[in-house]
Amino acid sequence: MNAEVRAMKTAAEQALSAAFAAACDTLPGKGAVAALREDAFKRFDAKGLPHRRVEEWKYTDLRALMREAKPLAGPAGAKPKGDIEPVLTGVDANHTAIVNGRYEPAWSDFKDNDPGVSIVELFKFLADEPGYRLGETPGSGDPAHWLNTAFMSGGVALRVKRGAAPAKPIHIAHVFSGDAGAAMYPRVVVIVEPGAQLTLIESFSGPEGIDYQVNSALELVIGDGARVDHIKVGCDGGAALRVSTLGVAVGAKANYKNFAFTVGGAVVRNQTFVRFGGEGSEGAIDGASLLKGRQHVDNTLVISHAVGHCMSRERFKSVLDGESHGIFQGKIIVEPHAQKTDGKMMTRALLLSDEAEADNKPELEIFADDVVCGHGATAGALDEGLRFYLMSRGIPAKEAEALLVQAFIGEVVEEIAHEGVRDALMFAALKWLGSR
* 3-state secondary structure (DSSP) of residue 198: strand
> Quick one: 69 or 433, whose CB is closer to another protein?
433
Min dist CB 372 to another protein, Å, is 5
Query: Residue type at 421?
Result: V
Q: Which of 393, 426, 398 is nearest to 412 (CA)?
A: 426
Sketch the per residue contact string, 4 through 23, with another protein: x for CB under 8 A, - otherwise: x-------------------
Please tell me the distance from the alpha carbon of residue 260 to that of residue 358, in angstroms, as a whole number: 17
Please tell me the distance from the alpha carbon of residue 377 to that of residue 181, in angstroms, as a whole number: 37
CB 124 within 8 Å of CB 208? no
- Give residue 142's region: left, alpha or beta (phi > 0; psi -120 to 50): beta
> Quick one: 355 or 399, whose CB is closer to another protein?
355
> Quick one: 1 or 78, whose CB is closer to another protein?
1
* Helix (H), strand (E) at residue 375: strand 372-380
Would you say the C-alpha torsion 146, 150, 156, 162 has a positive or negative sign? positive
> Quick one: 54 or 182, whose CB is closer to another protein?
54
Write the DSSP symbol of residue 186: B
Give 403's Cβ-side CA count (13 Å radius): 14
> Quick one: 101 or 283, whose CB is closer to another protein?
283
CB 323 within 8 Å of CB 292? no
Min dist CB 387 to another protein, Å, is 13
Min dist CB 217 to another protein, Å, is 27
Tell me if 279 contacts another protein by CB under 8 A.
no
> Quick one: 129 or 359, whose CB is closer to another protein?
359
Min dist CB 331 to another protein, Å, is 9
- Binders of another protein among 339-398, rule CB under 8 A? 339, 349, 351-381
Q: Which of 243, 256, 191 is nearest to 217 (CA)?
A: 243
Kindly give, in sequence order, each residue whose CB lies less than 8 Å from that of residue 219, ignoring residues fewer than 6 positions away.
134, 135, 136, 137, 188, 189, 190, 246, 247, 248, 249
Residues in the chain: 436
Min dist CB 236 to another protein, Å, is 25
> Quick one: 79 or 313, whose CB is closer to another protein?
313
- Binders of another protein among 311-340, rule CB under 8 A? 336-337, 339
28, 93, 428 from 401: Cα distances, Å: 50, 33, 17
Min dist CB 287 to another protein, Å, is 17
Sketch the per residue contact string, 45 through 84, with another protein: x for CB under 8 A, - otherwise: ----------x-----------------------------
Q: Which of 271, 114, 139 is nearest to 197 (CA)?
A: 114
Report strand pairing: 94-99 vs 102-103.
antiparallel
Min dist CB 63 to another protein, Å, is 18
- Binders of another protein among 113-152, rule CB under 8 A? none
Among 2, 26, 392, 435, binds another protein (CB under 8 A): 2
CB atoms within 10 A of CB 154: 23
Min dist CB 328 to another protein, Å, is 9
> Quick one: 255 or 360, whose CB is closer to another protein?
360
Orientation angle between helical segments 143-151 and 32-47, nearest 10 degrees: 140
Orientation angle between helical segments 419-434 and 397-413, nearest 10 degrees: 150
Min dist CB 330 to another protein, Å, is 11
> Quick one: 32 or 381, whose CB is closer to another protein?
381
The site for another protein, by CB under 8 A, has a size of 40
Would you say the C-alpha torsion 132, 137, 142, 148 has a positive or negative sign? negative
Min dist CB 334 to another protein, Å, is 8
> Quick one: 152 or 327, whose CB is closer to another protein?
327
Min dist CB 347 to another protein, Å, is 9
Please tell me the distance from the alpha carbon of residue 424 to that of residue 91, in angstroms, as a whole number: 7
> Quick one: 61 or 423, whose CB is closer to another protein?
61
Site for another protein, rule CB under 8 A: 1-4, 55, 336-337, 339, 349, 351-381
